[in-house]
Structure formats: C-alpha cells, structure tokens
Structure 1
Amino acid sequence: MVTTPPPPARPKPRRALRWIMTHPERLRPDKAVGIKEIRAACPELDAAIEHVRGFAGLMHEHRGEDLPARIARIDQDALPHLSQFANGLLHDLDAVTAGLLTTWSSGQVEGQVTRVKLLKRAGYGRAKLDLLRTRILLRT
C-alpha cells in the first residue's frame, strides 16, 4: 500500500502577509518556496500579490505618473477589494500622484504633533496654555 505524505501545513495569514510585503530579493530561500507554493495554490492571491508589489514599486521609486496604468490593470482582474482601493485613489488622483512624485514627507511634523499631545496629556488637564507653551518651547 502506497501512502502519500500529508500536504505541507498552510502558513498563518500573518506569515503569508509578511512574505508578500517583503521584497522578493530579501526573502530567504525557504520563505521564497513558501510564497511560491501559496501563489501556485490560489490564482487570485497571485494576482493580488502582483498588484501589491507593483504599487510598492510605484511608491519606492516615486513613479506617480504610472499610477493610472497600474489602476487600469487592477480593473482587468476580478479582485473587488483592490478595485475598491483603486477607485478610492481615482477620487483624488492628482493628490495621490503628487504624493508619489515628491521625495519629502511630513514625518517631522507628525512627530512634533505627537510630542505636543504627549506633553498635553502629561499635564493631566491641569496645565494651562501658558505652561504648555513653555514646555513646548523649552523642549522639556
């Protein structure tokens, strides 16, 4: 009697997502085999991975001018969630394209806002505007 080995265990969704979001060149060989197997098992997932990696390339290389073509490719596949995402991008295409074309970010501003909120919360609602202003300006 010939027994077939049991199929390999399916990866957990978080692990599969990590494989998808990692650049293919940075995947270890065993992880590359794992993502190859899940891509072969599900054609819809394979198409979604191609779209996700295409968008990642647009963001990493600041190629905002290629965004309409990328959105058109999504419409060719029957992936409702990605189509919904793409339609959301179309609502404000000029802003999204401009965001992809620029090399600067608002990270520094967001960090300052977070710091101000932290200082405000540290006063437990007792600190008035003059004390809060002094703590912000003195960076304490």
Structure 2
Amino acid sequence: MKAVLAHCPEQNAPTRHVRSFAQILTQRQGQQLPEWLTAVRQGALTGLHALAAGIDRNRDTVVAGLTLPWSSGVVEGHVNRIKMPKRQMFGRAGFGLLRKCVLLA
C-alpha cells in the first residue's frame, strides 16, 4: 500500500477517509460519524459524497448501529434460514412440502 501511495499521491485522501471510516465501524465510534461526514463533504471525492448523502438519509439509524451494542444478526439468520427453502421451491411445491422443509431446516 505504501508503494501505491508513493506512486499515486492523489490516493492519499480516499485512503485516509476509508481508513477512518473503518475505524469508526470496527471500534463502534458512531459519535464520530458527523465529523467524518463533514470531512468527506469538504473533499473533492464525488464517490464518497454519494456515500455521505446515503448515510445522511438515515443518520440517526446509522449512528445507533455504530454505537449501540445490540444486533439483530440472530433474527436475520433465522429469517434467511426460513426464506431460503421458500425461494428454492418457488413454483414447484405446495404449502405442505414448504412447511415440512421449514420445520426441518
């Protein structure tokens, strides 16, 4: 990475923004998100501007997801476990067979 940045110094800004966002994600520092969004908007990186605009649409939700210790991962796993056989059997089987597959999954 150092060699790439040495040959392409214009990649320093995107690299810095991505690394700081990764730190916010991994260390659950949602309170730092507004400062990160401001720094991204002040730069000339249009791709990150689109990301910032998307985050702004649901800012409170994103900050809560990056700050609070709760997760809906277990629930999402169960939903996926139930929906997968439904998708695989669409148009091929009736409710009785689908019910058995969900109960046995």
Fold-level similarity (TM above 0.5): yes
TM bracket, shorter-chain basis: 0.7 to 0.9
Residue equivalent to 1:117:
83
RMSD: 2.0
Residue 59 of structure 2 corresponds to residue 59 of structure 1: no
Q: How far apart are 1:37 and its partner, in Å?
A: 1.6
Larger % of helix: which?
A: 2
- If asked which structure has higher relative contact order (CA below 8 Å, sep 6+), I would say 2
Identity %: 43
Matched, 1:133 2:76: no
User: TM-score, normalised to structure 1's length?
Assistant: 0.64
- Consecutive unaligned residues of structure 1, counting only runs of 5 or more, are 1-34
List alignment gaps of at least 5 residues for structure 2.
none
1:121 positional shift:
4.3
Give the aligned residue type for 1:133: R
Q: In structure 1, what is the equivalent of residue 57 of structure 2? A: 91
Distance in 1 (CA, whole Å) between partners of 2:90 and 2:47 is 42
Contact 1:39-1:46 within 8 A present in 2 as well: yes
Using a 3 Å threshold, how does the CA distance of structure 1 residues 137 and 82 change in structure 2: closer, same or farther?
same
Report how many aligned residue pairs link the two structures.
105
Deviation at 1:124, TM superposition (A): 5.7
Alignment partners' CA distance in 2, 1:88 and 1:123: 35
> What is the CA-CA distance between 1:137 and the residue it aligns to?
2.2
4+ runs of 1 displaced by more than 3 Å? 121-124
d(CA) in 2 for partners of 1:127 and 1:104? 37
Mean Cα displacement is larger for which, 90-99 or 40-49?
40-49
